[in-house]
Structure 1
Amino acid sequence: MSMVGNLRKVANLARRTRHRRVDLSHPARSPLGASVVNCVVYRDGVRTPSTGGSVQEAVRHARKHRGGFVWLGLHEPGEEEFAGVADLFGLHPLAVEDAVHAHQRPKIEQYGEVLFAVFKTVTYVEHTELTATSEVVDTGEIMVFTGPDFVVTVRHGRHGSLGPLRENLEAHPDLLAKGPSAVLHAIADHVVDDYVTVTDAVQNDIDQVETDVFSPHSPRSADAGRTYQLKRELLELKRAVVPLARPLDRIATEPRACVDKEIQAYFRDVADHLTRVTEQINAFDALLDSILQAHLAQVTVAQNEDMRKITAWAAIIAVPTMVCGVYGMNFDHMPELRWTFGYPLVLTVIATVCLVLHRNFKRNGWL
């Protein structure tokens, strides 16, 4: 099987198994600290036996053999705990600060021989019904330090576990044999594939809102609230996706010593997928603007229709009001007051005029 086939297979397997969680409650799984998910040494793409749980021992073991590297995974480490890791791998202080405190803009920066990448992870929040307060997109972060013989991943958030991705990569030692850059590519591909999945799910919500806006039975106030909420959630997704485009393009086109040449070519595939997601998000944003404008236009039309009805009824009511106002004046000399047919005649005239007005307003669409 070709390398590109293996890369896509790893990504597909990761998507199918990402619901699995790494158990950190057992002491044997986290002997290095509360934030450490795993620490594994790979040599020629094959996982080596346990080194006793010491990060220092794992690094020594990886550097002792050519073609080996260590992959250290952490989840929301503290400053004190991560300081030792930073000293061990010689990580730049600025990158260390970003990795510990999170809430960073997606980027890929190089510090000497070390690449530091920040990826925003996203997941779709399932909901039975979209409301004006529904959470649609939840975000987290993955920071990746890639060096000549190590990969350090720092994850923030409730989702985005890399356990299934690690297992799937281990099933393809020919990829891991390419070194840390293969792990960086797999993570980037994994994150961007999540963008595609979430974007497709958000499209269903937008389609539902669009259908409801043009439905005569939909409450107008609810449509406006849901549209605004979707725009807010889409903005959060946009902040995660759009800033990553330029860094991915640079890593796919600019030669770097820490990125294998064969692996670098496959970053272009990831960049293409990201471009598709970016275009989709921009289209969704424009569509939501159009839906909101259509909703506001419908509200305006409905208000105009109500005003026309009120005006028409006011004109009809004005006829008996005027006649009654005339006959309500206390004049002694009014010929019709003592006429036998005066009262029924006035009622007949009022009814006739009101019916004529009602018919004309109805014909013109005012009632």
Structure 2
Amino acid sequence: MVLSRRIVDGEEQDVLISSSFAEAVDRNSSGTSAGMTRYLIPHSSTELMDEIIATWDLHPVLAEDLHHAKQRPKLERYDGVLFFVFKNVFYLDDTEEVEFSEIHVLAKDDSLVIICQGNRFLDGTPIPADRDELDRFFRNTEWVHAEDKDLLALGTDTLIYRLLDATVDGYFPVLDGLQEDKDEIESQVFSGDVAATERIYRLSQEVIDLVHATMSLKRVSEALNARVDDDTIPGELKPYFGDLDDHLTRVVAEATEMRNSLSQILEVNSALIAQRQNEDMKKISGWAAIIFAPTVIGAIYGMNFDNMPELQWTYGYPLAVAAMIVAAVLLYVVFRVKKWM
């Protein structure tokens, strides 16, 4: 299934739903040649990718890339076709997981093809599987922000900017969610919660994945800005791509800082655990010494030596008991003073 929408003079036409990519191209090329067309493939499949490859006669290397998901964000050009990969990100607060949705984009002449590799679209909305629901979803949802008519006159580069801008804007709520969880973890660490270590590790892995995605997307943004400088992209878009790059720089910086903060929290947590274990060992050693002193006295008097005068004394037994108590109390006081107890 392929959805398409023609933009003529800055005005969006009706959404068309086609069963194949070739049909969608034919339906959008039968009218006026002015404007540009956006194609959306909500659910990627081998058959649809083969149709795109055949219809546009794509380069073999690009054809291979189209068949592979789970790629890092990148920007490449093959025989007049611009291909880039980027990842939308969503934060699931209940499970403290960062979920990525991969998007592939092809730009050629006046056409832009958006291929969804996951089950979510740009805003995190799950993509319906049913055809009728999909039709209603995209008729009622602004699935690509394209409200600026003057910018739209510059061609598909405007749509590329809009896509990336919406993607980068989605990173900030994720950073906010991660920051809240990081603050909670800090409280856990200093409260002595034993579950903090596992939580730190899991959150660190999510942040590392986010750092990798943002840094790769930053390279895509830099490549697009280089295309503006080379006049490959209209100069009117330079401020927009520059602003996009600034936002990405901020995202990368915040994600990297959070990764470093979690590493420091993990080190502090390890130090606190070692300190608590040391305190526990002091208490165990102290109680062992307290128990050992009476045990030694009792063991000596329990041997029943023949030549042991204390056994014949009237006060031998009370004296032995008193010695045990005094030794235990004395050791307890000493350990309390040294804060071992």
Alignment of 1:115-130 (within 5 A): 115-127=82-94
> Which amino acid in 1 is paired with 2:203?
L
Q: State which of 200, 217, 233 in structure 1 corresponds to 2:176.
A: 200
What is the aligned-residue identity percentage? 34
Alignment of 1:263-342 (within 5 A): 263-342=237-316
Please tell me whether the aligned partners of residues 108 and 117 of structure 1 are also in contact (alpha carbons under 8 angstroms).
yes
The residue number in structure 1 matching 2:33 is 65
The residue number in structure 2 matching 1:130 is none
Secondary structure, aligned partner of 2:93: coil
Structure 1 position 43 matched with structure 2 position 8: yes
How far 1:261 sits from its partner (Å)?
1.8
Distance in 1 (CA, whole Å) between partners of 2:189 and 2:199 is 10
Distance in 2 (CA, whole Å) between partners of 1:336 and 1:52 is 106
Alignment of 1:1-367 (within 5 A): 33=1, 36=2, 38-48=3-13, 54-61=23-30, 64-66=32-34, 68-127=35-94, 134-161=95-122, 163=138, 164-166=141-143, 168-169=145-146, 171-216=147-192, 218=193, 220=194, 222-254=195-227, 255=229, 259-367=233-341
**Alignment length, in residue pairs?**
320
> Which amino acid in 2 is paired with 1:104?
Q
How far 1:59 sits from its partner (Å)?
4.4
How far 1:207 sits from its partner (Å)?
1.0
How far 1:194 sits from its partner (Å)?
0.9
The 1:283–1:52 alpha-carbon spacing in structure 2 relative to 1, beyond 3 Å, is closer
How far 1:345 sits from its partner (Å)?
1.6
Distance in 1 (CA, whole Å) between partners of 2:8 and 2:30 is 9
> Which amino acid in 2 is paired with 1:140?
S
> Which amino acid in 2 is paired with 1:231?
S
Secondary structure, aligned partner of 1:214: helix
Please tell me whether the aligned partners of residues 122 and 166 of structure 2 are also in contact (alpha carbons under 8 angstroms).
no
Secondary structure, aligned partner of 2:71: coil
> Which amino acid in 1 is paired with 2:276?
A
Distance in 2 (CA, whole Å) between partners of 1:50 and 1:341 is 106
How far 1:94 sits from its partner (Å)?
2.3
1:334-361 deviations in Å (ceiling 9; x for gaps): 2222211111122122211221111010
TM-score of the superposition, structure 2-length normalised?
0.87
TM-score of the superposition, structure 1-length normalised?
0.81
Please tell me whether the aligned partners of residues 87 and 100 of structure 2 are also in contact (alpha carbons under 8 angstroms).
yes
Distance in 2 (CA, whole Å) between partners of 1:49 and 1:351 is 94
Secondary structure, aligned partner of 2:65: helix
Distance in 1 (CA, whole Å) between partners of 2:72 and 2:14 is 37
Please tell me whether the aligned partners of residues 151 and 158 of structure 2 are also in contact (alpha carbons under 8 angstroms).
yes
How far 1:159 sits from its partner (Å)?
1.6
1:34-77 deviations in Å (ceiling 9; x for gaps): xx2x2112222222467895423344247x534x2111111233
Please tell me whether the aligned partners of residues 114 and 258 of structure 1 are also in contact (alpha carbons under 8 angstroms).
no
Please tell me whether the aligned partners of residues 225 and 241 of structure 2 are also in contact (alpha carbons under 8 angstroms).
yes
Please tell me whether the aligned partners of residues 72 and 151 of structure 1 are also in contact (alpha carbons under 8 angstroms).
yes
Please tell me whether the aligned partners of residues 76 and 156 of structure 1 are also in contact (alpha carbons under 8 angstroms).
yes
Secondary structure, aligned partner of 2:311: helix
1:240-275 deviations in Å (ceiling 9; x for gaps): 211121221121133456522212331111111111
* Greater RCO, 1 or 2 (C-alpha within 8 Å, sep 6+): 1
Please tell me whether the aligned partners of residues 102 and 117 of structure 2 are also in contact (alpha carbons under 8 angstroms).
yes
Please tell me whether the aligned partners of residues 4 and 16 of structure 2 are also in contact (alpha carbons under 8 angstroms).
no
1:141-161 deviations in Å (ceiling 9; x for gaps): 111111221111111112224
